[in-house]
Amino acid sequence: SAVISQKPSRDICQRGTSLTIQCQVDSQVTMMFWYRQQPGQSLTLIATANQGSEATYESGFVIDKFPISRPNLTFSTLTVSNMSPEDSSIYLCSVGGRATDTQYFGPGTRLTVL
């Protein structure tokens, strides 16, 4: 299993600013994933972040809006840039290894944009 922490747990931000969310894992993992969960909705995958390579973004998400860093095997950041109220969501990171393994999810970061 893996224990994942996220910082901050929640934040309230002003329109036009940026917020960087941190994801820390207690063990080395190959793959990390970032999800967005809009109010009352399911999870939507933003991107896959592997250490040593650029993140792979899903359709509808772009690097300029959601830049991701993956400096080592236990840490990643997601930045939500130039925020608007539509970015108000819960952002979650998860880690997973082999295809048949489970994924472990962080507790999420609840973002409110005014």
Partner 1 sequence: DAKTTQPNSMESNEEEPVHLPCNHSTISGTDYIHWYRQLPSQGPEYVIHGLTSNVNNRMASLAIAEDRKSSTLILHRATLRDAAVYYCILRDVTSGTYKYIFGTGTRLKVLA
Q: State the residues that interact with partner 1 by CB under 8 A.
A: 4, 31, 33, 35, 42-45, 48, 56, 92, 94, 96-100, 102-108
Q: How far is the CB of 41 from partner 1 (least distance, A)?
A: 8
Nearest Cα to 97, choosing from 43, 45, 25, 32? 32
Give whichever of 35 and 87 is closer to partner 1, judged by the CB atom.
35
Residue 79: count of CB within 10 angstroms of its CB: 15
Minimum Å gap between C-beta 16 and partner 1 is 28
Asked if 50 contacts 59 with a C-beta cutoff of 8 angstroms, the reply is no
Token pair belonging to 23: 């994801």
**Nearest-approach distance from CB 49 to partner 1, in angstroms:** 11
